[in-house]
Amino acid sequence: MTEERWKAVDDYFESVAGEPDPALDAAAGANVGFDLPDIAVSPAQGRFLNLLARVRGARNILEIGTFGGYSTIWLARALPADGTLVTIEYEKSFAEAAAANIARAGVADRVRQEVGRALDILPGLTADPAAPFDLVFVDANKPDIPEYFEWALKLTRPGSVIVVDNVVQGGAVADPDHPDRGVRGVRRFLEGLAHDTRVDATSLQTVGVKGHDGFTLALVTG
Ligand code: DHB
Ligand code: MG
């Protein structure tokens, strides 16, 4: 299977997934204005996050890493009208682009954006009316994933779901000597998870329009 084939299958799935959504398409293109790689989740992954939040019956969601707001919109659309999604972004310009995309998608009433260093903002969320969260999506800078996961645990309760994006990194995660700090962050996270009695978790590889990557799904058990 070539990457081209993976993409063709994702494109096919998208072609049978219903009407195009201009608000989501605009958010998906947020990378263009910043000359960045196309790092939002794929349409199929966005839909998966939306379904997962609804399966969980999530009323409060935390997202670490807003980028252009694409996954934010998918997740916010899973919430009831009185639900809250708190999303944290370090880059002010990304947060501003996301704000426009979130407003265009009609979910601004359910989304609260926090701008700054996630590790500075997360401690303040312990006293937030939106906490504990039913679902946390960890999708920010990869070297800090283990610390973000610890905060996700502090800000959830048994039954909550935590999803961590980008745990495969084109397969690099299997390399014990990989020099990339992001890959090392992912490995430190996964190796900690192995003996973590507070969660049950699995990691799945994905292929598609975003290449070869994957996510970890954790259920908070205690
Ligand atoms: C990349 C992909 C992501 O989903 C992300 O959150 C960050 C970076 C990437 O492909 O570089
Ligand atoms: Mg990601």
The pLDDT, as a whole number, for residue 78 is 98
Does the pLDDT of residue 1 top 70, yes or no?
Answer: no
179 confidence band (pLDDT: 50, 70, 90): very high
Read off the tokens for 140: 């920010």
The pLDDT, as a whole number, for residue 188 is 98
**From ligand 1's centre to the CA of 166, what distance in Å?**
6
Nearest to 131 by CA among 62, 58, 78: 62
Does the pLDDT of residue 87 top 80, yes or no?
Answer: yes
166: Cβ below 6 Å to ligand 1?
yes
Domain coordinates in residue numbering, the chain: 3-220
Over the stretch 21-55, which tens digit does the pLDDT of each residue have? 999 999 999 999 999 999 999 999 999 999 999 99
Q: Please report, in angstroms and rounded to a whole number, the separation of the first and last CA atoms in the chain.
A: 40
Domain 3-220 has CATH 3.40.50.150: yes
57 confidence band (pLDDT: 50, 70, 90): very high
Name residue 27's amino acid.
A
Q: Tell me what the mean pLDDT of segment 149-153 comes to.
A: 99
139: Cβ below 6 Å to ligand 1?
yes
Residues with Cβ–ion distance below 5 A, ligand 2: 139, 165-166
Report percent pLDDT > 90 for the chain. Answer: 99
Instruction: Give the DSSP H/E element, type plus range, for residue 111.
Output: strand 111-115
Does the pLDDT of residue 222 top 90, yes or no?
Answer: no
85 confidence band (pLDDT: 50, 70, 90): very high
How high does pLDDT run on average in the chain? 97
Strand pairing report for 161-165 and 199-208: unpaired
The pLDDT, as a whole number, for residue 20 is 92
Q: Are the beta carbons of 123 and 98 closer than 8 angstroms? A: no
37: Cβ below 6 Å to ligand 1?
yes
Least confident of 30-39, 105-114, 140-149, 166-175: 30-39
Q: What share of the chain is helix, strand, coil (3-state, %, to 5)?
A: 45, 20, 35
**Counting runs of H as helices and runs of E as strands, what totals does the chain give?**
9, 7
**From ligand 1's centre to the CA of 183, what distance in Å?**
11
Q: Are the beta carbons of 105 and 27 closer than 8 angstroms? A: yes
